[in-house]
């Protein structure tokens, strides 16, 4: 197998980005115009407005306007099936139930390379936190061991403490008495 050399990607310049935005905007508008013209022609022919009918009328596939929010809204507003469905829902009184659209996950807007970079950063942070946790755990264990040793020493010294306490009481009494 031949190994491919990876091309080093350079970031786009502002001029290139502006050109890309302009091109994208122009293509979106062209899609909207083609869709609008196809819908008007279908209405004038009194045909049903469906994704298949639009494709047959102007060659525009559903996937090309499904990615364009404005074009998709235009299609949904004029689709024969969807308009009938809305009318039926109104007649049945279904509009009491407000269906809230599921919000789109913000991570879906990222490119795979961006997600991989974020994932690697998160994994590195997790590793650092695990190291910190293990250091803290070791410190706690050492402290607990010292506390146990000191308690054992106190237990060993308890007889001496009680002896000294008795002696102190006796000396105190002797000083009072005499």
- State the first-to-last Cα distance of the chain, in angstroms, to the nearest integer: 107
Tokens found for residue 74: 């235009």
List, for the chain, all residue ranges whose pLDDT scores fall below the cut of 50.
Answer: none
**pLDDT score at 109:** 83
Q: How many CB atoms lie within 10 A of CB 107?
A: 9
Q: Are 31 and 65 in contact (CB under 8 A)?
A: yes
Q: How far apart are CA 149 and CA 171, in angstroms?
A: 32
pLDDT value of residue 96: 53
Q: How many CB atoms lie within 10 A of CB 56?
A: 13
Q: What is the pLDDT of residue 5?
A: 58
pLDDT at 82: 73
Amino acid 107: pLDDT: 82
At 125 the pLDDT is 96
pLDDT value of residue 159: 85
What pLDDT shows up at residue 3?
A: 57
**What is the C-alpha separation between 78 and 64, in angstroms, rounded?**
17
Tokens at residue 43, please?
A: 């209405």
């Amino acid at each position: 197998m031949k190994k491919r050399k990876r091309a080093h990607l350079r970031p786009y310049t502002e001029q290139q980005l502006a050109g890309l935005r302009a091109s994208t905007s122009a293509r979106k508008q062209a899609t909207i115009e083609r869709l609008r013209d196809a819908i008007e022609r279908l209405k004038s022919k009194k045909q049903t407005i469906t994704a298949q009918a639009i494709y047959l009328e102007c060659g525009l596939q559903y996937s090309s306007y499904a990615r364009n929010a404005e074009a998709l809204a235009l299609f949904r507003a004029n689709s024969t099936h969807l308009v009938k469905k809305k009318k039926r829902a109104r007649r049945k009184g279904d509009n009491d139930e407000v269906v809230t659209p599921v919000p789109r996950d913000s991570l879906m807007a990222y490119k795979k390379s961006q997600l991989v970079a974020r994932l690697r950063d998160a994994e590195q942070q997790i590793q650092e936190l695990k190291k910190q946790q293990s250091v803290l755990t070791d410190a706690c264990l050492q402290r607990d061991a010292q506390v146990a040793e000191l308690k054992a020493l106190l237990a060993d010294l308890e007889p001496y403490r009680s002896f000294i306490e008795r002696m102190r009481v006796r000396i105190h009494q002797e000083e009072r008495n005499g």
